[in-house]
Amino acid sequence: MRNSSHLEKLVCSKCGKEFSPDEPQTICEKCNAPLLPIYDLESVKNALSKEDLKGRRADMWRYRELLPIKDERNIVSLGEGFTPVLKLEKLGEKLGIKNLYIKDDGLIPTGTFKARGLAMAVSKAKELGLKKLAMPTAGNAGAALAAYAAKAGIEAYVVMPEDAPLTCKLECYIFGARVYLVRGLISDAGRIVSEGKRKFGWFDVSTMKEPYRVEGKKTMGLEIAEQFNWEVPDVILYPTGGGTGIIGMWKAFNELKELGWIDEKMPRMISVQSEGCAPIVKAFKEKKKESEFWEDAKTIAAGIRVPKAFADFLILRVLYESGGGAVAVSDKEILEASKELAREGVFVCPEGAATLAGLKQVVEEGDIDKDEKILLYNTGSGIKYTEVYSKKPQIGVTAYYLH
C-alpha cells in the first residue's frame, strides 16, 4: 500500500465536530450541514514541494498529498483534470481586458467538470468498500457517476428528471447505471434516492452530502494556481449551482496559502447564476448568510438550475471572504456569450457561457481593473447540449442557432 494522503479528519462546516475518515460519512446530522476534509498541512510542507510536481501524471491525481485517497490502488481514474487554460485574445481586446483567460473543463471524461468530483467520490467509495452508489441529478453528475462506477465495478443508481439532456441519459445507460426517470425536478429525484437509501442500502453521493466530491473539485483551484505559476488570477467567474466548484476552489487556495505556495492575495470569487434561478445572487445582494428556495427555477443552463443549494452558506461565505460578488444573467445573454466564445474556438456549455455574460456585467459596473488577470471557468462542453443549442425559439429566448 502506498499512502501519500495527508488527510487527517472530517469536520462539520457548522459546529466543527470531528468525524472519522476511515468509515463512510455523509453529513453532520445535528446541524444538517456538510462535512469538510481537513489535512495535516504541516506534514505536507515536509513531504511535498512545488518542484516535486514536475513530471508527475498530468491529471488531478498529481496532488495526491492534498487529496483524501489513502491507498493509491483505490484511485479510479479516466485521466481527468489538468485541463487547458487558454488566453482569450479577441474577447479580451473587445472588453478592454489585457489578461483574459478561460479554463476549459469541456475537455474531461464525460465532458463536464463533474468528473473531478465523481472520480474522487467513487475512489473513496472503493476505498471504504461501498457497493451501491446513488444520486439525484440534473444530468451531468449522473453521467460522471455512471462512468466512474463502471470503471470501478461498483453499482450506480441514477435518478433524474425525464427531461434531462439526452446525452446524459445515454451516458448513464451505456455505462451500465440503473436509471430512474422521474416526471419532476431534481428535488423529486432526491426524494426517491432517500427512499432507496432506506429500502435498498444505497449510499447517497448527492452534492455536498458526501464529503469527498468537493475534494475532486478542489483540484480546479490547485491546477489554476500551478498553471498560473503560483500567481493566482485576480478574479474568477464561476457558474454556481450546488456550489462544490466554488467551495472547492476556495478550499484549494486557502490550503495553498497555508502551505506558503501562494501569497496573501487571493482571487475575488464571483458566482454567476441565471436570472431564472438566482438564489445565491439574491442572498448576496441582501447580505444574507443563507439563500431562500427559488420558486419556478427555469434556465437553459441546467447545471446551475439549483433552487436551494444545500451548502448555500458556504458559497456565500466564499463570496464575502474573497471580496467577490454575484451576478445573474439572462438565457439570451448566455446564448450570445456562447457564440462569442465559439469565435475563439471553444464550444462551451451554457453554464460556461454564463461566466462571460457575467463578466460583461461586472466590467460595466466598473468592478474590474483592466490590468487584472481574469479567469472564466468553463465547466463543460457544448457538445453535451445539442438540444439546447438547436431548439426552436421559446418564450424569452430568441437566439437559438439552427432556426
Ligand X SMILES: *Cc1c(COP(=O)(O)O)cnc(C)c1O
Q: Which is nearer to Zn ion, 15 or 47 (CB)?
A: 15
Strand, helix or coil at 33? strand
Q: Which is nearer to ligand X, 5 or 140 (CB)?
A: 140
Residue 207: how many other CB atoms lie within 10 Å: 24
Minimum distance of ligand X from residue 354's CB (angstroms) = 9
Based on the shown chain and the rule CB under 5 A, indicate whether residue 31 belongs to the binding site for Zn ion.
yes
Minimum distance of Zn ion from residue 29's CB (angstroms) = 8
Based on the shown chain and the rule CB under 5 A, indicate whether residue 170 belongs to the binding site for Zn ion.
no
**Which residues is 378 bridged to in the sheet?**
104
Based on the shown chain and the rule CB under 5 A, indicate whether residue 32 belongs to the binding site for Zn ion.
no
Residue 241 contacts which entry, ligand X, Zn ion, none (Cβ below 5-8 A, type-dependent): ligand X
| Residues 311 and 208: beta-carbon distance below 8 Å | yes
Cα torsion angle, 27, 60, 348, 376, sign: positive
Minimum distance of ligand X from residue 72's CB (angstroms) = 26
Minimum distance of Zn ion from residue 31's CB (angstroms) = 3
Based on the shown chain and the rule CB under 5 A, indicate whether residue 25 belongs to the binding site for Zn ion.
no
Residue 14 contacts which entry, Zn ion, ligand X, none (Cβ below 5-8 A, type-dependent): Zn ion
Residue 57 contacts which entry, ligand X, Zn ion, none (Cβ below 5-8 A, type-dependent): none
Residue 178 contacts which entry, Zn ion, ligand X, none (Cβ below 5-8 A, type-dependent): none
Residue with cell 439570451: 332
Residue 56: how many other CB atoms lie within 10 Å: 12
Residue with cell 487584472: 372
DSSP secondary structure string for all residues of 271-288 = EEEETTB-HHHHHHHTT-
| Residues 233 and 374: beta-carbon distance below 8 Å | yes
Minimum distance of Zn ion from residue 311's CB (angstroms) = 13
Grid coordinates in use for 345? Answer: 474556438
Cα torsion angle, 238, 33, 291, 206, sign: positive
Cα separation of 304 and 123, whole Å?
Answer: 25
Q: Which is nearer to ligand X, 182 or 186 (CB)?
A: 186
How many CA atoms within 13 Å lie on the side-chain side of 150? 19
Minimum distance of ligand X from residue 322's CB (angstroms) = 15
Based on the shown chain and the rule CB under 5 A, indicate whether residue 317 belongs to the binding site for Zn ion.
no
Q: Which is nearer to ligand X, 155 or 351 (CB)?
A: 351
Per CB under 5 A, which region of 24-32, 87-95, 208-216, 258-266 contacts Zn ion?
24-32
Q: Which is nearer to Zn ion, 155 or 312 (CB)?
A: 312
What distances in angstroms separate CA 24 from CA 130, 209, 301, 391, one per listed residue?
Answer: 8, 12, 32, 43
Residue nearest to ligand X (CB): 303
Q: Which is nearer to ligand X, 48 or 205 (CB)?
A: 205
Residue 28 contacts which entry, ligand X, Zn ion, none (Cβ below 5-8 A, type-dependent): Zn ion
Angle at CA of residue 217, ends 281 and 202, nearest 5°: 100
Grid coordinates in use for 7? Answer: 488527510
Grid coordinates in use for 326? Answer: 454575484
Cα separation of 238 and 328, whole Å?
Answer: 12
Based on the shown chain and the rule CB under 5 A, indicate whether residue 19 belongs to the binding site for Zn ion.
no
Minimum distance of ligand X from residue 349's CB (angstroms) = 5
Which position among 7, 10, 11, 12 is part of the footprint of Zn ion (CB under 5 A)? 12
Which position among 28, 156, 158, 182 is part of the footprint of Zn ion (CB under 5 A)? 28
Q: What is the contact surface with ligand X in residues (CB under 6 A)? A: 112, 114, 140, 207, 239-245, 303-304, 349, 351, 379-380
In 20-91, the DSSP E strands lie at 27-28, 33-39, 85-87
Minimum distance of ligand X from residue 67's CB (angstroms) = 18
Minimum distance of ligand X from residue 57's CB (angstroms) = 24
Q: Which is nearer to Zn ion, 19 or 400 (CB)?
A: 19
Cα separation of 296 and 124, whole Å?
Answer: 35
Based on the shown chain and the rule CB under 5 A, indicate whether residue 47 belongs to the binding site for Zn ion.
no
Contacts of 163 (CB under 8 A, 6+ apart): none
**Which residues is 37 bridged to in the sheet?**
10
Q: Which is nearer to ligand X, 123 or 299 (CB)?
A: 299
Minimum distance of ligand X from residue 240's CB (angstroms) = 5
Grid coordinates in use for 343? Answer: 469565435
**Residues within the interface to Zn ion (CB under 5 A):** 12, 14-15, 17, 28, 30-31
